[in-house]
Amino acid sequence: MHFDGSLFPLAEGFGINTNIFETNIINLSAVVAVVVSFVGKNLTSLLEDRKKTILGNLQEASQRAAEAQEKLNQAKTQFENAKTKAKQIREEGVLRATQEVNNCIAQHEERLSKLEEFKQETVQFYQQKAFKQAYIYVISRIMSRVKERLNKGLDATYHVVVNNFYVSRFTEYNP
């Protein structure tokens, strides 16, 4: 076969292009195509990994927030329970203090009544003692006067009659 230049023109499509701008654009597009094809897959996988990490962190943060909210709710419940318990303790304390005050008052009143009773008994005892002393004094004075009168001018028979009269009156007397 014979090759003729008419069928295949030699180096018509290939050659040195002296236009730098066009050459730079072609080179740049080739480099960008290579970079996009190789780096794009790696960059996409890096972005996917970063996206998964961020989503994992967000889920972990939301889980921690839920746990913190649960702990806060538990703390609030415990606080309310503690407030209720403190209120009950305070009320019981007031009730016990009131009961103790009432018991002290009752004991004090009981002691006062016993003291009043003892005072009355003591006064009555000393009144009876004073009355007996006065009675003995009066009787002894009467007896001494009777003896004086009897000794001054009474004869023996009259003396016995008067003594019997006073002795019988004395025995009838009940203080």
Q: Which residue has the tokens 């018991």?
A: 103
- Residue 14 pLDDT level (bands cut at 50, 70, 90): low
**Per-residue pLDDT at 144:** 87
Contact (Cβ atoms closer than 8 angstroms) between residue 175 and residue 135: yes
**Does pLDDT of 7 surpass 60?**
no
Q: In the numeric block, which tokens belong to residue 23? A: 């050459």
**Per-residue pLDDT at 30:** 81
Distance CA 53, CA 47 (A): 10
Q: Which residue has the tokens 């701008």?
A: 21
Q: What's the whole-model pTM score?
A: 0.40
Contact (Cβ atoms closer than 8 angstroms) between residue 32 and residue 40: no
Point out the least confidently predicted range of 4-18, 27-41, 50-64.
4-18
Contact (Cβ atoms closer than 8 angstroms) between residue 139 and residue 170: yes
3-state secondary structure of 13: coil
State what percent of residues in the chain have pLDDT above 70: 84
For the segment 18-27, the average pLDDT, to the nearest whole number, is: 76
Point out the least confidently predicted range of 8-17, 29-38, 66-75, 140-149.
8-17
**Per-residue pLDDT at 92:** 93
State the chain's mean pLDDT as an integer. 83
- Residue 17 pLDDT level (bands cut at 50, 70, 90): low
Largest CA-CA distance found in the chain, in angstroms, rounded: 215
**Per-residue pLDDT at 162:** 75
**Does pLDDT of 107 surpass 50?**
yes
Q: Whose CA is closest to 148, among 159, 161, 136?
A: 159
Distance CA 80, CA 90 (A): 15
